[in-house]
Amino acid sequence: MPEGHLIHRHADEQQAALGGRVVRAAGPQGRFDARPYDGRVLTGVEALGKHLLYHFEDAPAIHVHLGMRGIFLRYDPEARPRPGTRLRLAAGGAAFDLIAPIQCEPYGPEEEAALRASLGPDPLRADASRDEAVRRLTAFHGPVGAAVLDQKVWAGIGNAWRAELLFLVGLHPGLRDPGTERAGRLWDAAAAYLALGRDAGQVVSDPDHPDERWVYKREHCRRCGTPILTWQLASRTAYACPVDQPGEG
């Protein structure tokens, strides 16, 4: 599933190409009625964790969640969309085709408010509160490795970022109650590294070697060479170096 850095990258690219323009909207697959949006101004594309909201003049927002299989493809507006395209938005010299999302639906004010209320702070949003992020993480009743995957705690973190961020801060995924200071350092790392990932289009946990990972899907720690520990935590495979992330607290 695309993590928050890629969702923000999609939002930024589509905002730059389509934002403030009258868009042509279509639902080639037939599973989304795009007629209420066709010929309207797209006022903004907003990323919230792993969710996207498309805001239009005089029409409900469109909510998109890519899920495990969803993708966007960019085409020339004159190109024919693939038969499986759920939604096409086009303006100027760009068309964006949405394929295989888990959700693509109109959202009125109540649905939008409920979505926002269901999500914790997003490290890539300017309006995210560090204090609130720390409060939610330290209030979580369970391991920190489960907390950061819970979208009600922090929005946008997935399994790859969980592994790499916890390594960078030296926290074992099984640690309970990391404390305010370490929770703050973890948030600061998330904000800094997810921004690198957004700009690069991939998880970047070492700016000097952007294609390398420290522990995620590795057999040995890239820093010290120790065999990586793996186990199931919050229904996903956790990764930790027993030397650089000692103990569970």
Question: Is 2 noted as a catalytic residue in this protein?
Answer: yes
R_g of the chain, CA atoms, integer Å: 20
Question: Is 24 noted as a catalytic residue in this protein?
Answer: no
Which tokens go with 242? 């027993």
From the candidates 130, 236, 242, 248, which is the catalytic residue? 236
User: Residue 176: CB partners within 8 Å, gap ≥ 6?
Assistant: 142, 143, 144, 248, 249
From the candidates 3, 81, 173, 178, which is the catalytic residue? 3
Question: Is 219 noted as a catalytic residue in this protein?
Answer: no
Of 42, 41, 44, 51, nearest to 8 (Cα)?
Answer: 51
Kindly tell me the burial class for residue 47, based on how many C-beta atoms sit within 10 Å of its own C-beta (0-12, 13-18, 19 or more). buried
From the candidates 9, 50, 185, 198, which is the catalytic residue? 50
**Please, are residues 215 and 160 in contact by the beta-carbon 8 Å criterion?**
no
Of 101, 120, 88, 121, nearest to 52 (Cα)?
Answer: 101
CA distance to 3, 130, 229, per residue, from 39 (Å) = 31, 39, 54
Of 19, 21, 78, nearest to 52 (Cα)?
Answer: 19
Question: Is 50 noted as a catalytic residue in this protein?
Answer: yes
| Residues taking part in catalysis | 2-3, 50, 236
